[in-house]
């Protein structure tokens, strides 16, 4: 079985390979390697220096020179042939996967998935945080499950900003300039065999959008790019920077995403059965589709109804203030000509005032164009990303879309986020196949066998991943402090810090103020006593970025950095700069405790704690987002209860006191309670519970079961009898 959606592309970079190793080209240009460790090791063997620096197989193959030695190595050739056979088997063997077994033939076309960012791997820097990481994991799981899906996004040539923290704790911003020839992406070809571009009309001109493809296993992801010679110099930067600050530029991006994305799919002859908007950034795809229907001669109401019938929407923010809005006059000026058409018969058109009416927010403010409101009104179904979030979202947006916002709790892609040492245990003791988490598979439901893993071996595997984190973090901190001008003695001191025998807390995420990253510093004396206890010490590693426009978030970073260098906390608190997917993997795989303490109920879901749990890391979190339904009482700790105090200061104080109490009286004592062999039996049992309670329930596999059965098939008009019964996340597995 070939990939269910195929997109023609140019070959990619013109590097030369020995004929015996030509299969490396296929491997390099398919991001399958990002979640298959053996493939990554293979590329590192070709050129270890290039791999260590770029972590990108295309770059490795462009620079590689030692082919003679590799061709004379039977071990390398055998490994290459084995990995290539595994890859080809994966790409060809989709007929027996979950979607085809359960719902084969029920979709008349693919699912078209639109998102403003995608986090596949750190080498492809078109993501900023949780939304993009979730979208990347969605693509990987859809590939594993052989779901017919094609995705659309934007190609940000300057990506999201790279963060440095100066000697005073200020966040500094630098935007990379990616060389596309050295990335695992390729230009898409038109039906005529030429590089594909699609038009998007803007006032007084037509913008040309180049179409690129990132292949993620079986799933093609189309990326639109305005930085091409056909465009005016003023328009070429439209797709340069993710979440650009300027509101008018941001609106241009979202217009390109929605309108250009529809046109790219049309140009490729793809006819989606379902259109999925992951957040409201792509809402103009709904306007474009309605304009298409109007161009076929149907009435406006019918055009809107047809668009609504097979479109679905995922909302990620809990309150209306966090959703994307633009000034209505800006939208009218920039999008009006495109929406209304040029007046010629057959060109269609949707009156701009009707579009503005459909995008009026819950507050009724006619001066604002609300992308979430437009998305809710023009979709068949909508989902929130946790059960608690669904309650909040329905209360916020009550009645706006004419349908309830259902809960489909987020998940994470297990093979991407599970460390190698823990992964080895899953395969050895649980007979796990991480590429196929389907409970009905031959080796399914392996998470129910987690008690088979010997506690001592679970602890040993965790300690190995913790050591990898320590070695990585020391190197990062050494570079950071050297840039600050710290003395050699300070840099040398780092080799004795981050001791693997010390209880290590991890806190890493976007530094928005509601996430309360500085809550631990509420009582500095009490925290210092906890961290510097001679018998039971504790250390904390922070990482995260604040948006360049988020001054309060940047102040939180400065506060944490300043605290980390203070005499009270120096040597026990660390902050790693330039948080990305690579740093995230080290942290979720290597810390002992994953801390999350947002103001409830402002965390829609959160996924970093899920990634940590799959590695046996134990969560210590406020009962918000996914943890509100994930906490069992035996797989971690809950900070506080489910009641919230409208006085934020009082709530912060209460949560801080409960956090200190849990650490002092429960977390730290359990961690340091060891048997005669030095194994913390109570702690490792908690680790087992953490793994067993999350591997399925908070996986993208379970999540996509629900998307297919609760959103995609109903939107495609699949017969109700053909669909599996609905299951909540607590019932599924």
125-148 pLDDT per residue, tens: 999 989 999 999 999 999 999 999
In this predicted structure, the answer to whether residue 343 has a pLDDT above a threshold of 60 is no
CA neighbours within 13 Å on the CB side: how many for 341?
19
CB 97 within 8 A of CB 436: yes
Residue with tokens 């260098």: 565
Average pLDDT over residues 92-119: 91
In this predicted structure, the answer to whether residue 274 has a pLDDT above a threshold of 60 is yes
Identify the band that residue 727 occupies on the pLDDT scale cut at 50, 70 and 90.
very low
Q: What is the pLDDT of residue 345?
A: 45
Average pLDDT over residues 390-413: 93
In this predicted structure, the answer to whether residue 724 has a pLDDT above a threshold of 70 is no
Assign domain 416-696 one CATH number from 3.40.50.2000, 3.40.50.300, 1.10.530.10, 3.40.50.261: 3.40.50.2000
Residue with tokens 């009309």: 201
Q: What is the pLDDT of residue 719?
A: 64
In this predicted structure, the answer to whether residue 182 has a pLDDT above a threshold of 50 is yes
For the stretch 29-43, pLDDT in tens is 999 999 999 999 999
CA–CA separation, 726 and 723 (whole Å): 9
In this predicted structure, the answer to whether residue 79 has a pLDDT above a threshold of 50 is yes
Q: How many CB atoms lie within 10 A of CB 121?
A: 23
In this predicted structure, the answer to whether residue 468 has a pLDDT above a threshold of 80 is yes
Strand partners, 417: none
Residue 662 phi, psi (nearest 5): -60, -45
Q: Where are the alpha helices (DSSP H) in 193-326?
A: 247-255, 261-267, 284-295, 300-309
For the stretch 188-228, pLDDT in tens is 999 999 999 999 999 999 999 999 999 999 999 999 999 99
∠ Cα 276 277 281 (to 5°): 165
For the stretch 674-723, pLDDT in tens is 999 999 999 999 999 999 999 999 999 999 999 999 999 999 997 644 44
For the stretch 565-606, pLDDT in tens is 999 999 999 999 999 999 999 999 999 999 999 999 999 999
Question: pLDDT > 90: what percent of the chain?
Answer: 88
CA–CA separation, 77 and 70 (whole Å): 7
Average pLDDT over residues 500-525: 95
Nearest of 358, 384, 379 to residue 369 by alpha carbon = 358
- In SS3 terms, 642-703 reads as CCCCCCHHHHHHHHHHHHHHHHHHHHHHHHCCCCCCCCCHHHHHHHHHHHHCCCCCCEHHHH
CA–CA separation, 175 and 596 (whole Å): 29
Q: Is 66 exposed, middle or buried (0-12, 13-18, 19+ CB in 10 A)?
A: exposed
For the stretch 45-60, pLDDT in tens is 999 999 999 999 999 9
Question: pLDDT > 70: what percent of the chain?
Answer: 96
Q: What is the pLDDT of residue 320?
A: 60
Structure tokens at 233: 């110099």
Percentage helix, strand, coil for the chain under 3-state DSSP, each rounded to 5: 45, 15, 40
Mean pLDDT over the full length of the chain: 93
- The full set of domain ranges for the chain reads 19-92, 283-383, 416-696
In this predicted structure, the answer to whether residue 175 has a pLDDT above a threshold of 70 is yes
Q: How many angstroms separate the Cα of 598 from the Cα of each of 201, 557, 617, 660?
A: 42, 16, 19, 16
For the stretch 605-641, pLDDT in tens is 999 999 999 999 999 999 999 999 999 999 999 999 9
């Amino acid at each position: 079985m070939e990939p269910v959606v195929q997109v023609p592309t140019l070959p990619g970079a013109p590097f030369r390979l020995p004929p015996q190793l030509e299969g490396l080209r296929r491997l390099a240009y398919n991001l399958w390697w990002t979640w298959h460790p053996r493939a990554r090791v293979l590329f590192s063997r070709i050129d270890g220096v290039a791999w260590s620096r770029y972590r990108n197989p295309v770059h490795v193959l462009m620079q590689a020179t030692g082919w003679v030695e590799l061709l004379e190595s039977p071990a390398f050739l055998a490994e290459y042939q084995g990995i290539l056979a595994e890859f080809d088997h994966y790409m060809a063997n989709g007929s027996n996967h979950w979607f085809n077994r359960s719902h084969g033939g029920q979709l008349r076309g693919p699912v078209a998935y639109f998102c403003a960012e995608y986090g596949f791997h750190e080498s492809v820097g078109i993501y900023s945080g949780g939304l993009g990481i979730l979208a990347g994991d969605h693509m990987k799981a859809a590939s594993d499950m052989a779901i017919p899906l094609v995705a659309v996004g934007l190609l940000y040539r300057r990506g999201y900003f790279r963060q440095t923290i100066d000697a005073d704790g200020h966040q500094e911003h630098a935007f990379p300039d990616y060389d596309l020839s050295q990335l695992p992406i390729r230009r898409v070809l038109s039906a005529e065999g030429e590089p594909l571009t699609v038009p998007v009309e803007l006032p007084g001109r037509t913008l040309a959008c180049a179409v690129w493809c990132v292949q993620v296993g079986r799933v093609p992801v189309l990326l639109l790019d305005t930085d091409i010679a056909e465009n005016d110099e003023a328009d070429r930067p439209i797709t340069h920077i993710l979440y650009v600050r300027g509101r008018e530029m941001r609106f241009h991006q979202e217009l390109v995403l929605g309108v250009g994305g529809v046109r790219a799919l049309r140009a490729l002859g793809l006819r989606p059965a379902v259109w999925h908007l992951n957040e409201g950034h792509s809402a103009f795809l709904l306007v474009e589709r309605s304009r298409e229907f109007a161009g076929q001669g149907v009435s406006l109401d019918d055009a809107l109804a047809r668009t609504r019938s097979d479109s679905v929407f995922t909302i990620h923010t809990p309150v209306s203030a966090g959703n994307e809005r633009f000034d209505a006059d800006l939208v009218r000026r920039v999008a009006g000509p495109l929406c209304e058409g040029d007046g010629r018969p057959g060109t269609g058109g949707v009156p701009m005032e009707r579009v503005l009416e459909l995008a009026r927010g819950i507050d009724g403010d006619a001066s604002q164009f609300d992308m979430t409101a437009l998305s809710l009104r023009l979709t068949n179904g909508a989902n929130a990303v946790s059960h608690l979030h669904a309650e909040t979202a329905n209360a916020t947006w009550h009645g706006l879309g004419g349908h309830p916002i259902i809960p489909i709790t987020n998940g994470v892609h297990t093979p991407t986020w599970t460390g190698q040492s823990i992964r080895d245990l899953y395969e050895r003791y649980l007979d796990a196949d991480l590429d196929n988490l389907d409970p009905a598979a031959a080796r399914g439901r392996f998470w129910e066998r987690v008690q088979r893993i010997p506690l001592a071996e679970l602890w040993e595997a965790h300690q190995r991943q913790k050591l990898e984190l320590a070695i990585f973090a020391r190197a990062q901190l050494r570079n950071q402090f050297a840039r600050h001008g710290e003395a050699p003695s300070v840099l040398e001191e780092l080799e004795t810090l981050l001791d693997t025998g010390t209880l290590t807390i991890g806190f890493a995420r976007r530094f928005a103020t509601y996430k309360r990253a500085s809550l631990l510093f509420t009582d500095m004396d009490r925290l210092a006593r906890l961290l510097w206890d001679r018998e039971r010490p504790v250390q904390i590693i922070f990482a995260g970025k604040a948006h360049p426009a988020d001054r309060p978030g940047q102040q939180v970073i400065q506060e944490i950095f300043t605290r980390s260098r203070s005499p009270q906390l120096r040597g026990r608190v660390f902050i790693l700069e330039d948080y990305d997917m690579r740093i995230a993997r080290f942290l979720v795989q290597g810390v002992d405790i994953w801390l999350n303490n947002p103001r409830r109920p402002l965390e829609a879901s959160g996924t970093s704690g899920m990634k940590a749990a799959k590695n046996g890391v134990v969560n210590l979190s406020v009962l918000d987002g996914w943890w509100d339904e994930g906490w069992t009482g035996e797989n971690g700790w809950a900070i506080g209860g489910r009641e919230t105090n409208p006085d934020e200061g009082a709530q912060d104080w209460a949560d801080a006191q409960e956090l200190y109490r849990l650490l002092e009286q429960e977390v730290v004592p359990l961690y340091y309670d060891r048997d005669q062999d030095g194994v913390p039996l109570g702690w490792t049992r908690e680790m087992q519970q953490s793994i067993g309670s999350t591997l399925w329930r908070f996986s993208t596999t379970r999540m996509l079961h629900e998307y297919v059965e609760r959103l995609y098939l109903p939107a495609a008009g699949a017969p109700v009898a053909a669909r599996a019964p609905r299951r909540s996340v607590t019932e599924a597995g």
